[in-house]
Copies of this chain bind each other. A is one copy, B any other.
Amino acid sequence: MKQSTKAVLCLLLCLLFIPIALFAGGEKEGITVETESQVEVYKEAKYVFLFIGDGMAMPQVNSAEIYSNAVASQDITLRKLAFSQFPVAGLTTTYDASSFITDSASAGTAMATGHKTLSGVINMDPGKTVKFTTIAEMARDAGRKVGIISSVSLDHATPAAFYAKVPSRGEMYNIAVQMTESGFDFFGGGGLAQPKGKKGDQPDVIDIARAAGYTYVNDTAAFKALRPGAGKVLAINPALQDSAAMYYEIDRKPGDLSLADFTGKAIELLDNEEGFFIMVEGGKIDWACHANDAAASIKDTLAFDAAIAKAVEFYNSHPEETLIIVTGDHETGGMTLGFAGTKYSTFFDQIAPQKGSFVAFNTEVLGPYKEKTAAKDARLEDLLPAVKEWFGLDYETLADNEKEQLQRAFLRSMGNEIERAVQEDQYLLYGGYEPFTVKLTHILNQRAGIGWTSYSHTGVPVATFALGVGQELFGGYYDNTDIFDKMAQAMALTVAVGMK
């Protein structure tokens, strides 16, 4: 063949390749390279971040964006978050093996292993006999360093989905023991819900972790002093709030460690030539949304974004080797950005005065009041100054039906027996939360133009954002199990035959 003919053929072949590569962008699935429909042109992602906003779908993302706008400026042009500016955005279904509404255990399993399972099950099949290998274990076995970070306890479903295999997420002690056996390089953020077991009669997991070679860090100065070469680290925030979780961002005190601090430290410690896989969970977005507390959700989404910004900094100095993926495991609360009472308007600046989370209000105001006040002596007037201070709500400005609803919620929180008997639909009104506090966040959120329909998760697909090497894999509309496949492909990790 003549050289000139070869040149023309090469050109034609390449021109053919380009539209195929473009077309394949949204369709890639599985990690097998099929030369007909897929072209492996990107480099291997050496440094991979998976950020999971628990309970974070588009309403949670967009409410944080709108809040940032409403508080910062009168300009309607939307201010995006660090991660919502990523070049690639996809949509991800979250249903699990038995329900269109997943929980964090089955959703975590789907993303970590590519397998659907039942709600409550972590990295085992619906029959609870087969154990699945996680992407984090595969990364470890390929010589990468691995970090797992969460703002809730480290034995909670989402972080556990990267290292543990249990038939029930409730086995938190078992999960924590498996954490110490993972060999992963960094665990950080919240604490452990059952460090000595359900009854407190088991060996302390912290001791087990130390015996397994982990350096245990539990104070801020020691945390900040950690330097590369520290070895395996288990770093628990000394400031914990509820269920061994970090404080809601809205309640975090100046100087206390943030999710961004843990993310930055993991990057510092795990940066090495073999690469790393770091999973960071913004876990309290979910908890805030379960309680229908928009201010707490928005502030935790912004804290999650600040953690992502740490990864973006790292990406900026390693753009050819880094991949950042940001997704949610499901939506929580049925949050919407519109309420019947505010019609076509939103007033997100109304949320800004909220002083603390529903938990902080319960702990600091309602709890102490209940402690010292008998049901028969309880009067709403007693708490109105606190309501104004904590939620910016002036009782006199409430509509009559809001006043009545707040009064009834107050009586219900105070254990008023008549009110208890009357309200059959208590769960619909308040979930399992303090009636008075839920009613306050409902009223405030509705004033802002935010609605809620559930105290549980919902089934709407989540958004997935990607930046870096392999980002194009994350466009399109695909399933949460595909996140595993796409990560494995981006990291060039091999899945054992029969695993998938």
Write out the residue numbers on chain B whose beta carbons fall within 8 Å of the beta carbon of A25: 22, 25, 87-88, 472, 475
Q: Are A89 and B337 in contact (CB under 8 A)?
A: no
**Nearest chain B CB to A330 CB, angstrom units:** 9
B-facing residues in A447-470 (Cβ within 8 Å)? 449, 451-461, 463, 465
Given A451-B454, A454-B336, the answer on whether A22 and B424 have CB atoms closer than 8 Å is no
Q: 30 interchain pairs (CB within 8 A)?
A: A11-B14, A18-B18, A18-B21, A18-B41, A19-B42, A22-B22, A22-B471, A24-B87, A25-B472, A58-B91, A62-B459, A76-B97, A76-B100, A78-B93, A80-B477, A89-B91, A89-B477, A100-B346, A101-B337, A101-B338, A331-B338, A338-B457, A338-B460, A340-B431, A341-B427, A343-B455, A344-B457, A401-B425, A452-B453, A453-B453
Q: In the complex, A337→B456 CA distance in Å? A: 11
Q: Of B3, B95, B336, B460, which is within 8 A of A3 by CB? A: B3
Write out the residue numbers on chain B whose beta carbons fall within 8 Å of the beta carbon of A340: 427-428, 431, 453-456
Write out the residue numbers on chain B whose beta carbons fall within 8 Å of the beta carbon of A85: 477
Q: Of B41, B101, B400, B461, which is within 8 A of A424 by CB? A: B400
Q: In the complex, A62→B424 CA distance in Å? A: 32
Q: Is A199 an interface residue (CB 8 A)?
A: no
Q: Of B116, B339, B399, B460, which is within 8 A of A59 by CB? A: B460
B-facing residues in A104-137 (Cβ within 8 Å)? 116, 119
Interface size class of chain A, counting residues whose CB lies under 8 Å from the partner chain: 35 or more
Q: Is A4 an interface residue (CB 8 A)?
A: yes
Q: In the complex, A42→B2 CA distance in Å? A: 30
Q: In the complex, A455→B339 CA distance in Å? A: 8
Q: Is A90 an interface residue (CB 8 A)?
A: yes
Given contacts A3-B7, A76-B97, 15 further A-B contacts (CB under 8 A): A14-B18, A26-B471, A26-B472, A58-B460, A62-B459, A76-B95, A78-B479, A101-B338, A336-B454, A336-B460, A337-B459, A338-B454, A343-B456, A401-B428, A463-B477
Q: In the complex, A39→B90 CA distance in Å? A: 22
